[in-house]
Structure 1
């Protein structure tokens, strides 16, 4: 996903320009820190105290110049209007957040308002068009059948009761359909420009499994599949990139 994001940034902004980046729901700050290391001014917004502590600890180990380029704010993504003025950022990230929100449209609209003209909005969502894939591949036929007609919170076949670690984003998270989010982005003035699949082939791997020896080949396959039809359409996650008019 980092490669996809970098591709969009390079395509939309002059090389060497220091961008103002907002990472909403930054988690442990992996993307935020990566972009700060690249020279951008990054603001991370997160409400979970444990995640904030982990992000601050990671930031504390960075050189002074990187620490100065990144700030961390405790807050909810739905309160961006409280913390920032409209048009304050060139890039807004919202990765793995919409799946926790029952009504995503107000949040997405608020994120778009934070963008300067020409700004990039990057969303990572659970793919509502492919919810039957994982239960089907695991032989959970009832679960697969139920998944075809909903984007609601569905139980996941891989649970602690099976002796496995729950999936990375939790067992019962809401999903979004590509067509619905495309219409939403168009309606808020940040129409979809590009989209990718994320975790096309690797989504069925056991959580916590060690990377294979040929991990670079694995990444190359996932990167190619994530931009190629029909593979990207059945990815576990979708990465959508809209641009503010």
Structure 2
């Protein structure tokens, strides 16, 4: 559930973590493998280990590929604090050259979170992530949602920017937008399908969390837990995918 120390941050990752944890459990049970045998997980663009360290704490081996030496140093420190140094490995690199720094076809699960927004060729990014998977592996893909940005700009009163984001090929609301690219659910599932995977599930992430005033969540008794339950309930409903801040796709080879 929600981390009592970093509640708002936990709320933003809760849906993805719930889906990912279930996927890891299924992968661990697949193929008649020993229940205690750890999975090999690759987190491309994993940065400081927001997902890698919790995955390692479940007992799995995690390789994090990231272009930033500073992020990898922070990852090492975080892994040490969590007592999982022996299960977390950092490698400097990026998604473009992913298969040059990791062994192709050697991972049970690949995480590609917050990467496609920044790469030159999202299709190549997905193909490389898929190339790192074992035959029965699963891909967890997380990217910014186009509709969520439109809604957020409109609610903030920036109507011209909201309209710009609707018509912009990359879903950007203007020159001041720090994000190079956003996606629709259809665009993400097409990228996954074109890379040879079967889409298992699509989830809307942060459908409401970024729109609700922080003071309400922080001061109203029980509001945080109620908002988390609402997010989890809305995540699987296709009607809410178009307004989610992020979109999560879970896929495998079928």
The TM-score, its normalising length taken from structure 1, stands at: 0.85
Q: CA deviation at 1:175?
A: 0.7
Pick closer, same or farther for the CA change 1:43–1:228 going to 2, 3 Å. Answer: same
Q: 1:50 aligns with which of 70, 74, 81?
A: 70
Residues 186-244 of structure 1 show CA distances to partners (whole Å, capped at 9, x for unaligned) of: 12211211110111011235789984553222211111111123123310100111102
Match of 1:6 in 2: 21
Residues 37-75 of structure 1 show CA distances to partners (whole Å, capped at 9, x for unaligned) of: 001011111111221121111112233xx2111111111
Unaligned runs of 5+ in 1: 160-169
Pick closer, same or farther for the CA change 1:101–1:205 going to 2, 3 Å. Answer: farther
Q: CA deviation at 1:179?
A: 1.5
Alignment of 1:58-97 (within 5 A): 58-63=78-83, 66-97=84-115
Judge which range, 187-196 or 1-10, deviates more: 1-10
Residues 66, 94 of structure 2: 8 Å contact kept = yes
Instruction: Indicate the structure with greater helix content.
Output: 2
Q: CA deviation at 1:82?
A: 0.7
Pick closer, same or farther for the CA change 1:208–1:27 going to 2, 3 Å. Answer: farther
In structure 2, distance between residues paired with 1:236 and 1:188 = 24
The TM-score, its normalising length taken from structure 2, stands at: 0.82
In structure 1, distance between residues paired with 2:214 and 2:139 = 29
Alignment of 1:121-200 (within 5 A): 121-152=139-170, 154-155=172-173, 171-200=178-207
In structure 2, distance between residues paired with 1:57 and 1:208 = 32
Number of residue equivalences: 232
Residues 151-200 of structure 1 show CA distances to partners (whole Å, capped at 9, x for unaligned) of: 4262479x8xxxxxxxxxx7333112221222221122112111101110
Pick closer, same or farther for the CA change 1:193–1:147 going to 2, 3 Å. Answer: same
Residues 102-149 of structure 1 show CA distances to partners (whole Å, capped at 9, x for unaligned) of: 321111101101001121111110112443111111121111111212
Residues 131, 147 of structure 1: 8 Å contact kept = yes
Residues 129, 178 of structure 1: 8 Å contact kept = no
Unaligned runs of 5+ in 2: 1-15, 30-34
In structure 2, distance between residues paired with 1:209 and 1:23 = 34
Match of 2:228 in 1: 219
Match of 1:204 in 2: 211
| CA RMSD after TM alignment | 2.5
Q: 2:41 aligns with which of 15, 21, 28?
A: 21
Pick closer, same or farther for the CA change 1:50–1:85 going to 2, 3 Å. Answer: closer
* Partner secondary structure for residue 98 of structure 1: coil
